[in-house]
Amino acid sequence: MFSDEGFLRAINRFERSLAKVLSSLLTAVLVVASLQLVLVLGFDLLDLRVDWTGEGLIRLLDQVLVLLIALEVLQNLTAYLRDNVVQIELVLATALTAVARKLIVMPPGVQKNPSDLLGLGFAAVALAASYWLVRQSHISRRPSRTGLTTGSPEPDPLPPRDGGGGA
C-alpha cells in the first residue's frame, strides 16, 4: 500500500503541519493573554484594595509565569520546526520553569501536605540535575581549537585608535 519512505514522509509532513497549527494557535493565545494581563494589571493598580504585598502579587506572578511557560512551549515548537528535532535542553528548562511556578505560587493549604512538597522538591532536583547533565554533554561535545587562530576576513568596523596618549 505505502512504501516505508512515502509513509514516513507523509507522517513528517503531518507532524510539521500540526506543529505550525499549534504554533499559530499558541501565538494567538499568547497575544490575547498578554493583552488581558496588561488590562487586568492596569485596573488592579488603580484599585487601592488590591494587596500587592500578598495575594495580589502572588496572582500576578502566577499569570506572568504561565505566560512565560507558554512562550517556552512556543519556542519548543519553533525549534522543532526549524531543526526537525525536539531540543531536550529547552524541554527541561520549560519543565523546570513549570515546577518553579508551582513552588512560587503554591496555594496556602498545600504547605501543610508534606508529600506534595516532597514531590515538587524531588521534581525540581531531578529536572535541574537532568538539565545540568544535558548541558555538560553538549559542552563536552564541542570541538576545541587546536590550530593557530586566523584573523577575520571582514574589516574591523571600528576606526583605529589614536596612537597618542589621550584617553
Which of left, alpha, beta for 84 (phi over 0: left; psi -120 to 50: alpha)? Answer: left
Q: Is the pLDDT of residue 157 over 70?
A: no
Residue 83's nearest CA partner among 158, 15, 163, 159 is: 15
**pTM for the structure as a whole:** 0.70
Q: Is the pLDDT of residue 117 over 90?
A: no
Please give the radius of gyration of the chain, using alpha carbons only, rounded to the nearest integer.
24
Run of H or E residues at 97: helix 88-104
pLDDT digits (tens, 9 = 90+) for 41-94: 888 888 888 888 878 888 888 999 999 999 999 998 998 888 877 788 889 999
Number of domain units in the chain? 2
Same domain, 52 and 6: yes
Same domain, 33 and 96: no
Same domain, 33 and 11: yes
Residue 34's nearest CA partner among 59, 57, 56, 66 is: 66
**Could you tell me what percent of the chain has a pLDDT over 70?**
80
Same domain, 50 and 97: no
What pLDDT is stored for residue 146 in this prediction? 54
Amino acid letter for position 18: L
Show the domain range for 35: 1-85
Give the length of the chain.
Answer: 167
Mean pLDDT of the chain: 83
Whole-number Å distance between alpha carbons of 69 and 93: 9
Same domain, 33 and 55: yes
3-state class of 162 per DSSP? coil
Segment 116-140 mean pLDDT: 90
